Amino acid sequence: MVDKPSSIHRARYHFSLSKLLFWSLVFLGFIVFFFFRSPPSASPSRRSLRGGAGWENSVRQSATPRYSSSSSSAKARRVLVTGAAGFVGAHVSIALKRRGDGVVGLDNYNKYYDPSLKRARTDLLRREGVFIVEGDINDAVLLRELFRLVKFTHVMHLAAQAGVRYAMKNPASYVHSNIAGLVSLFEVCKSANPQPAIVWASSSSVYGLNSKVPFSEKDRTDQPASLYAATKKAGEEIAHTYNHIYGLSITGLRFFTVYGPWGRPDMAYFFFTKDILKGKQISIFEGPNHSSVARDFTYIDDIVKGCLGALDTAKKSTGSGGKKMGPAQLRVFNLGNTSPVPVSKLVSILEKLLKVKAKKKILPMPSNGDVLFTHANISSATREIGYKPSTDLQTGVIFMNVFSTLTIIDVVVPPVNIATMASSEEVPEKLVTEFCSKTKDPSFCHNFAKGDIQTFLGMETALRTKVLDTAIDITTASKSAFSGALGDKQVTEKEKAAIQQCIGLYTKVEQSLQSSASPSADFIAIGQKLQVAGESLWQCQMDLHSHPNHEAIASLKMVNGLANSFVSYVQSEFYAHYLQLNRKN
């Protein structure tokens, strides 16, 4: 049970002249900003990256739905996903594409966090056949061009400036992305023929200082505690306006603290993990009277299901060419896990999985816009879009491949992930320590986007014997685990097919690693084989993520996460050594 701060009580509505004047001025400011300021187009250098027959063909091809002949009930959906290289956007784009929808992504690759992480996600999307257009949602010229090329049936609007605390440093970026960007998108959608149905990401932050728990869509949202929350609340009001005037079908989704693989590095579970492994002190905040700070942590797989459920139940817009022809659907849903967990409990889970005791410092909650607790009431989402979250925090954290994400963003962390630490007592920690001691910088950092891998020294003997042998052993053991799961009574026929596919992928990976163990093996060839191996294991991981998280599948996800981490690690070592040899020559 989460402690509710005793100093917080449900507020009453008090309308006064000062409040009315304040909100009138805020609204007037938004009006001036939006309607007397044209959204900027991309710079010439950005525009040069797009256009031409090849680019147009890529957009159209990516937007083309692919359904099997047996799917008679399937609809030909063509979805524009904004923020497609972001955390939620990448997962949703892959899920849409895999089920047969046509998907075109849009992302501006901003520098809120290291863009190399977005580039790495883009590589994953490219393998799935999703084309990402690099551009800003405020670029009206680009948006109109995309709608000219493709008759989008749906828009999944996930582009936004995220983060509560960052708003104190860069408030303009929140207005630019979360408000002006939303208006820019709605403007293009209202003029489209036919108009697309829109699903967009609001936030649980709109509940602000509301103290009634759990948070329901019917609760008041007029007390935002941060600029981020205010921009999301403004977005909901703007959505109501475009629905009412232009007949746009709009569904808003209030996400509750999303976490999972390929997540944002500014989220607590990532920087807690990094600092715990590095022996740094972590800060844990508490509310008045030592009350707990808690969050309704929601696993990315559950969020994706909610997004797809909202899209599948979205009705068509009723406007055409900017004119409303009848009432249109307008909805808002909470997407949470319904089980708020104190942040201190998250730290305890990480300590257990990492087998490292955190150095904790308890501090009072700062006045930076964060709220003390979040708790979702999802009854409406369950009833209307079939949303049923199934992953608790303990399970979800184990599923996360923290190693893969942290290495992409150049964070010092040993080449083992949480899944590794949780699932095996034989993780070669001594081997990791030995390798770290042989490098100038005890980090395993690389940038997948540029292919610029940091140089490691004196690794050849250890590389060919210890690490590669370990990777082969792990891959062989993982393959055996998948084979054993075929006899599990929990496993359905559909899941068995996915497992069989993974076994085939593991066989190829095993062969590649074994051939790489030869003393005469060429480093270029080894690197290429390992790259293919890594892609195969990622394909297996994505296949597993599409299935429910029962015990058998959970175990396989952990096993695959371990194998994937080591294959990626070995690949980086081979390339690093190859670069070092070239520099010496």
Helix (H, G, I), strand (E, B) or coil at 81: strand
Helix (H, G, I), strand (E, B) or coil at 122: helix
- Cα distances from 277 to residues 239, 346, 372, 412, 441, in angstroms, run 44, 15, 27, 9, 16
Rounded Cα gap, residues 384 and 236, in angstroms: 19
Contact of 256 with 247, CB cutoff 8 Å: no
Instruction: Count other Cβ atoms within 10 Å, centred on residue 38.
Output: 10
Sheet strands (E) in 327-404: 330-335, 341-342, 359-364
For residue 194, cis peptide bond before it (omega within 30 degrees of 0): yes
Residues forming the active site: 228
Query: What does DSSP say about strands 298-299 and 258-259: parallel, antiparallel, or unpaired?
Result: parallel
- Cα distances from 192 to residues 63, 132, 263, 313, in angstroms, run 16, 21, 33, 21
Provide the token pair at 499.
Answer: 């497992």
Helix (H, G, I), strand (E, B) or coil at 360: strand
Rounded Cα gap, residues 455 and 74, in angstroms: 50
Backbone angles phi, psi at 186, to 5 degrees: -60, -35
Provide the token pair at 149.
Answer: 């090329």
Report the length, in residues, of the chain. 585
Provide the token pair at 309.
Answer: 């459920």
Rounded Cα gap, residues 281 and 438, in angstroms: 27
Dihedral of CA 357/363/368/369: which sign? positive
Beta bridge partners of 283: 361
Instruction: Fill in the DSSP letter of residue 410.
Output: T
Tokens 């966090």 locate to 113
Contact of 381 with 305, CB cutoff 8 Å: no
Contact of 506 with 483, CB cutoff 8 Å: no
